[in-house]
Amino acid sequence: PALIAALATDAAYVGALGSRRSHAARRERLSTEGVTDANIDRIDAPVGIDIGAIGPSEIALSIAAAMIGAFHARG
């Protein structure tokens, strides 16, 4: 799966769409597939910065902002 492949890299930002409930299920599934807790903790979910986004374009903007923040925080 793409998420496991992304976590195997040193990517500054890894995010996943979905609710907090779906992320809890995702965490369990990834754990059973051998992904470490440290790597699972790298996932930003729900993805993006909470700006009260409405619609796809605003969601995309919130994700882009989170990616830029992660990139700059990394140094």
The secondary structure of residue 14, as a DSSP letter, is E
Rounded to an integer, what distance in angstroms lies between the CA atom of residue 12 and that of residue 41? 13
Q: What is the pTM of this model?
A: 0.87
Confidence check: pLDDT of 75 > 90: no
pLDDT tens track for 41-71 = 999 999 999 999 999 999 999 999 999 999 9
Q: Compute φ and ψ for 43, nearest 5 degrees.
A: -75, 125
Q: Which two tokens stand for residue 57?
A: 């374009």
Q: Which residue ranges form the domains of the chain, and what is each CATH number? A: 2-74 (3.40.50.720)
Q: What single string gives the DSSP state of each residue in 28-71?
A: HHHHHTT--HHHHTTEESS-S--S---SHHHHHHHHHHHHHHHH
